[in-house]
Amino acid sequence: MPLRLDTGDAGFAAAFTALVDARREADEDVSRDVTAILRRVRAEGDAALADYTQRFDGHDLDRSGWAVTAAETRAALHSTPTDLRDALELAAARITAYHEKQKPQDSDGVDGAGVRLGARWTPVDAAGLYVPGGRAAYPSSLLMNVIPAKVAGVRRIAMVTPTPKGEINPLVLAAAQIVGIEEIWRVGGAQAVAALAYGTDHIRPVDVVTGPGNAWVAEAKRQLYGVVGIDMVAGPSEIVVVADGRNDPEWIAADLLSQSEHDPTSQSILFTDDAAFADAVAQAVDRQIPALSTHAVARTSWDANGAIILVPDLAEAMPLVDRLAPEHLELAVDDPDALFAQVRHAGSVFLGRMTPEAVGDYVAGPNHVLPTGRRARFSSGLSVLDFMKRTSFLGLDTGAIRAIGPAAVALAQAEGLPAHAASVALRLR
Amino acid sequence: MPLRLDTGDAGFAAAFTALVDARREADEDVSRDVTAILRRVRAEGDAALADYTQRFDGHDLDRSGWAVTAAETRAALHSTPTDLRDALELAAARITAYHEKQKPQDSDGVDGAGVRLGARWTPVDAAGLYVPGGRAAYPSSLLMNVIPAKVAGVRRIAMVTPTPKGEINPLVLAAAQIVGIEEIWRVGGAQAVAALAYGTDHIRPVDVVTGPGNAWVAEAKRQLYGVVGIDMVAGPSEIVVVADGRNDPEWIAADLLSQSEHDPTSQSILFTDDAAFADAVAQAVDRQIPALSTHAVARTSWDANGAIILVPDLAEAMPLVDRLAPEHLELAVDDPDALFAQVRHAGSVFLGRMTPEAVGDYVAGPNHVLPTGRRARFSSGLSVLDFMKRTSFLGLDTGAIRAIGPAAVALAQAEGLPAHAASVALRLR
């Protein structure tokens, strides 16, 4: 049974705070293991990669091949059913179109003091993409990670993925072929992230590493943050649905379950102002679960982390939603904009009754790599900006340095930095 | 003596690679200490802060006061000499003007498939600023960290700073008063960063922590990354100057020393195509150092980390500069734009002979918090964006879900996520 709360209950404030503070993230203490793996890959390079791959994935890289060949990716796309190929291509086109609009503008101008000031954006040289093996190898994730890098203008994209016993998900390869990835290494785990960051004889180093992974992969990225850029540390998926009583309870139940089925640690929360609707959704969830191939995960997640919260008015839900700062927020009402105007913290918002979160996972266009675990308070979904950096620039002439130089000299002297002061003062003579 | 290299020398490639790879960052292993401090502050809150402050800073917070009072900051500004106050105000105005232009644009529109797509930027609720104590307490750093947050629209800014024996730099307080900081806590070190991230009874938690600090502070930020947002991990300061022989060697020497004087680990590198000019600069550096109050630091840094590199043509310096990806890059030539067009990786670029890097430290307008240690390959200077986050949004109607929904259903089924598929399929019936 999921949690049931009512803002009118005496214990509501404490119970809701407990819900907000509940950490669903595994506290697996893998940091020491990961430190050792990173150190060894840095020191031994490919030899360490080969050894870890034999140990963890059960294959010999020198026999199976270090890289997936171009023929393999071409063949994977060729053997993909037409409807799936079309769906991947539609998704790629729409994700590309959305991300094109994120490309930042350069600036360059001269201000009133005669100082030329500007900013120029450039792509990173190389991006590394981690793709998990097995069940969690999602072609949609590949598109969501690669396309922003491509739109940013990144010249080289290197993908790493574990291939347990040499096997690899053909739909992932098909997606790689569609977006034109030409470098795919059969390595996974913390060792693969280390190889991307430090480089080995086979794998040249990259500048940014993104992509989902297990606790070891996440910890490797965290430890290598600063050696390379990384996307945000990702936690369990979550959805908040704000719905009035005029929705079909079956639709809303399916929306809640679309998060619950991801992982036992996923979280689905419904806010509604209609007690009868809340009951109807709860019943629909229970009806739908047994039919899912993912029923065991969905059941565990919904019972352990699900919640239905009754509010007197949906507007009163919005400050509570802000405290949760959810990854996904559905506003299933006739006028979603009125509620959306009140939202300060959310990764992605789905407006209206006909916008299930799952369209955003695949084909709508916005990125599905989004901040989890209340991180929407300070971070954003993956974007073109994660694969670019900004160089500021300035230029002074004699007039400009006379206008602003003396203030720089005064401040440098006050901060006890005489060479700073001299570098300006010499030019003022 | 600094390193002298010539691209024409036989050993140049190896020597330059060694220069690029040289890590000047201290490898102080403080991570275990910091982990313990963070854990204790999280568990014990203010009691832990008081204890650490007594131990490390030698004062009793309950006696000295936890916070700097409004009267203290007002008094500090009041007693600031007029020229310094004017300089701080000029700096604040120019930094504000530059950062105003970084404010991102929201988007909202309907595409050809009838899908409404957009992105909305909002500020974080609260930002925490770390200001070091003692010699490294720079009012300019305070302005550079606070103004982007203010421009972003951050409502609450909480500053922490160690006040050894209760003392605090009055010019830092004056700068705080100019930009309107109303919350200043007399705590420092890893424990102060922990307090900002987790919150205590005195200090409410923030969403983003920025600002420079020692190895403990940097490690605390690194460990708390994900609990809060942080600015980039910062390393020793560095400058690359690309100069032809038509510069005044005294000016260029001062520019090089303006980095060398920061810290023994700072780095200053000159590229020039004129061997006689190289000698003249080297001599000017040696002449200038003894007159500096910072001579000991400057001497150590210049001898240990400085370099003068002779190139046959300045254009040939640019790929080498890209490998260094310097924090600061001066292009001291008549036509700096021709060289700048070749630069891919640099934090901030200073164009022309009249643009010493120090004007950028104080009054030009761009941020002086910049990526160091080759991190300009993938990261940018501090900006308004570090204090904001983007919420993507989408909205479908019946026509739009019919247009793109079937592809989402196909992909969800292929990925083995039936509730995802159902949430869309139910709406297609």
Dump the DSSP string for A361-380.
HHTSSS-S----TTGGGT--
Name the pLDDT band for B27 (thresholds 50, 70, 90): low
ipTM of the modeled complex: 0.96
Nearest CA in chain A to B127: A378
Q: Residue A384 is encoded by which pair of tokens?
A: 């073109």
From the list B385, B393, B414, the residue facing A349 with the nearest CB is B393
Nearest chain A residue to B218 by CA distance is A226
Q: Do B117 and A98 touch (CB under 8 A)?
A: yes
Residue B202, annotated as binding a ligand = no
Report yes or no: A358 at the B interface, CB cutoff 8 Å.
yes
Tell me the chain B residues in contact with residue A393 when contact means C-beta distances shorter than 8 Å: 340, 348-351, 366
| B328 marked among binding-site residues | yes
Do B42 and B194 form a contact (C-beta atoms < 8 A)? yes
What's the rounded mean pLDDT across residues B114-139?
A: 93
Q: Is residue A334 in some structural domain? A: yes
Backbone angles phi, psi at A265, to 5 degrees: -90, -5
Q: How many independent structural domains does chain B possess?
A: 3
Interval A143-192: pLDDT, tens: 999 999 999 999 999 999 999 887 889 999 999 999 999 999 999 999 99
| Span A99-116, pLDDT tens digits | 999 999 999 999 999 999
* Same domain (yes/no): B240, B223: no
Determine the pLDDT at residue B74.
97
Residue B336 predicted with pLDDT over 90: yes
Instruction: Look at residue B135 in the predicted model and tell me its pLDDT.
Output: 66
Of A14-28, A182-196, B208-222, B298-312, minimum mean pLDDT range: A14-28
Residue A357 falls in the annotated catalytic set: no
* Average pLDDT estimate for B359-382: 96
More confident: A333 or A134: A333
Give the 3-state secondary structure of residue A42.
helix
3-state per-residue secondary structure call for chain B? CCEEEECCCCCHHHHHHHHHHCCCCCCCCCHHHHHHHHHHHHHHCHHHHHHHHHHHHCCCHHHHCCECCHHHHHHHHHCCCHHHHHHHHHHHHHHHHHHHCCCCCCEEEECCCCCEEEEEEEECCEEEEECCCHHHCCHHHHHHHHHHHHHHCCCEEEEECCCHHHCCCHHHHHHHHHHCCCCEECCCHHHHHHHHHHCCCCCCCCCEEECCCCHHHHHHHHHHECCEEECCCCCCCEEEEEECCCCCHHHHHHHHHHHHCCCCCCEEEEEECCHHHHHHHHHHHHHHHHHCCCHHHHHHHHHHHCEEEECCCHHHHHHHHHHHCCCEEEEECCCHHHHHCCCCCCCEEEECCCCCHHHHHHCCCCCCCCCCCCHHHCCCCCCHHHHEEEEEEEECCHHHHHHHHHHHHHHHHHCCCHHHHHHHHHHHC
Q: What is the CATH number of the domain that holds A417?
A: 1.20.5.1300
Q: Do A352 and B423 touch (CB under 8 A)?
A: no
Please report the pLDDT score of residue A27 as a whole number: 62
Inter-chain CB proximity B396 and A359 less than 8 Å: yes
The answer to whether residue B111 sits within a structural domain is: no
Residues in chain B: 429
Q: Is A267 labelled a binding residue?
A: no
Q: Confirm whether B99 is domain-assigned.
A: yes
Within the 96-125 window of chain B, which residues sit less than 8 Å (CB to CB) from chain A? 97-98, 101-102, 107, 111, 113, 115-117, 119, 122, 124-125
Q: What was the pLDDT predicted at A28?
A: 63
Q: Are A322 and A183 within one domain?
A: no
Q: What is the C-alpha separation between B141 and B361, in angstroms, rounded? A: 9
Residue A26, pLDDT above cutoff 70:
no
**Residue pLDDT, tens place only, A5-14:** 999 999 999 9
- Cα–Cα distance for residue pair A422/A409, rounded to 1 Å: 7
The whole-number average pLDDT for the span B337-352 is 98
Regarding whether A308 and A182 lie in a shared domain, the answer is: no
pLDDT for the residue numbered B236? 87
Q: What CATH number has the domain bearing residue B38?
A: 3.40.50.1980
According to the model, what pLDDT value does residue A165 have? 81
Q: Is residue A371 part of a domain?
A: no
Instruction: Assign residue B374 a region (left: φ > 0; alpha: ψ between -120 and 50; beta: otherwise).
Output: left
Last residue of a domain, one of A179, A206, A230: A230
* Percent share of chain B, pLDDT over 90: 91
Same domain, A198 and A307: no
- State the number of CA atoms in the 13 A half-sphere of A386 facing the CB: 30
Same domain, B79 and B192: yes
Sign of the dihedral defined by the CA atoms of residues B157, B162, B163, B168, in that order? negative
Does any CB of chain B come closer than 8 Å to the CB of residue A345? Answer: yes
Quick one: which of A278, A382, A404 has its CA closest to B87? Answer: A404
Gap between the Cα atoms of A394 and B352, Å rounded: 9
Among A242-246, B63-67, B267-271, B417-421, the minimum mean pLDDT is found in B63-67
Say yes or no: A91 and A210 in one domain.
yes
Strand partners, A119: A107, A392
- A427 three-state secondary structure: helix
Q: Quick one: closest CA in B to A292, which residue? A: B418
Residue B314 and residue B215 share a domain:
no
Are A380 and B367 an interchain contact pair (Cβ–Cβ within 8 Å)?
Answer: no
**Residue labelled with tokens 């008081």:** B50
User: Is there a binding annotation on residue A21?
Assistant: no
- A:176-215 residues touching chain B, CB 8 A cutoff: 207-208
Structural domain includes residue A369: no
- Claim to verify: residue B263 and residue B220 sit in the same structural domain: no
A167 is in which domain, residue-wise? 31-106+124-230
- The pLDDT of residue B28 is above 80: no
Sorted by sequence, the CB contacts under 8 Å of residue A257 that are 6+ apart come out as A268, A285, A288, A289, A292, A298, A302, B419, B422, B423
Q: Is residue B133 in a domain? A: yes
- pLDDT at residue B166, as a whole number: 79
pLDDT bucket at A131, cuts 50 / 70 / 90? very high
Test the B interface: residue of A302, A333, A359 with most B CBs within 10 Å = A359
| Chain B residue nearest residue A402, CA to CA | B354
pLDDT reported for residue A135: 66
Q: How confident is the model at residue B26 (pLDDT cuts 50, 70, 90)?
A: low
Average pLDDT over every residue of A77-84: 96
Angle CA B181–B187–B190, to nearest 5: 115
Rounded CA-CA distance A84/A171 in Å is: 9
CA atoms B136, B371, B107, A338: torsion sign: negative
Please compute, for residue A309, the number of CA atoms within 13 A of its CA located in the half-sphere on the CB side.
28
Of B199, B230, B261, the one marking the end of a domain is B230
Domain termination site, one of B200, B230, B260 = B230
Same domain for B353 and B300, yes or no, is: yes
Chain B residues 28-57 with a CB less than 8 Å from chain A: none
| One-letter amino acid of B160 | V
What pLDDT was estimated at residue B363? Answer: 97
- A389-411 tens-digit pLDDT: 999 999 999 999 999 999 999 99
Question: Which residue in chain A has the smallest CA separation from B422?
Answer: A254
The verdict on B351 touching A (C-beta cutoff 8 Å) is yes
Residues 6+ apart with CB under 8 A from B59: B53, B163, B164, B165, B166, B186
Mean pLDDT of B379-399: 98
> Is the pLDDT confidence value at A23 over 80?
no
Q: Are residues B401 and B360 in the same domain?
A: no
Of residues B327, B330, B357, B368, which has the active-site annotation? B327
Q: Residue B157 domain-assigned?
A: yes
Q: Same structural domain for residues A182 and A46?
A: yes
Q: How many whole angstroms separate alpha carbon A37 and alpha carbon A53?
A: 12
Lowest-confidence segment of A131-135, B74-78, B140-144 by average pLDDT:
A131-135
Specify whether A343 is located in the same domain as A403: no
Verify whether residue A328 is a known catalytic residue: yes
CB distance A256 to A285 below 8 Å: yes
Exposure string over B166-185, b if 16+ CB within 10 A, otherwise e: eebbbbbbbbbbbbebebbb
Q: Please check if A420 is assigned to a binding site.
A: yes
pLDDT of res. A151? 98
Residue B389 falls inside a structural domain: no
Please check the confidence at residue B291 and state whether its pLDDT lies above 90: yes
Q: Residue B357 is encoded by which pair of tokens?
A: 């890097």
Contacts of A360 (CB under 8 A, 6+ apart): A328, A348, A350, A366, A368, B392, B394
